[in-house]
């Protein structure tokens, strides 16, 4: 019959958050913001990241779009911080997704299929 299912909301959300996390610059920003637990200026970030201002701005936009950060305008600065609500949601989604299964896996790794790229 080949039902060709649509993806659940959960699957789509995990993919969406993962996309936001799929670049080292964005992981770095989130790690910093979540751990320091305070806000951060775009200008401070550009000092320590190997990208230009406009590129950083694009990454911040991406993170805003994903809902993982939010900004407070404080002219002429913009302070960024973690969006705690969605950060929690991401945490729950990933935790549940990556949870161990209850039972042990059956043996399934005698031949390790090559995994080269290209």
Mask: binding to its own copies, 24-43, rule CB under 8 A, as x and -?
x-xxx-xx--xxxxxx----
Among 70, 78, 81, 87, binds DNA (CB under 7 A): 78
DSSP 115: -
Residue 108 beta carbon to its own copies: minimum distance, rounded to whole angstroms: 4
**Residue 9 interacting partner from DNA, its own copies, none (CB closer than 5 to 8 Å by kind):** none
Residue 18 contacts DNA per CB under 7 A: no
Residues 20-34 as b/e (b if ≥16 CB within 10 A, e otherwise) read bbeeebbeebbebbe
* C-beta separation of 59 from 26 below 8 A: yes
């Amino acid at each position: 019959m080949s039902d060709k299912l649509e993806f659940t909301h959960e699957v789509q959300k995990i993919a969406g958050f993962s996309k936001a996390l799929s670049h080292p610059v964005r992981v770095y920003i989130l790690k910093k913001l979540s751990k320091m637990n305070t806000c951060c200026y775009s200008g401070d970030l550009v000092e320590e990241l190997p990208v230009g201002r406009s590129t950083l701005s694009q990454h911040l936009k991406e993170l805003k779009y994903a809902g993982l950060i939010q900004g407070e305008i404080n002219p002429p600065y913009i302070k960024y911080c973690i969006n705690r609500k969605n950060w929690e949601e991401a945490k729950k989604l990933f935790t549940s997704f990556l949870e161990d299964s209850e039972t042990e896996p059956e043996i399934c790794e005698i031949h390790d299929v090559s995994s080269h790229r290209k």
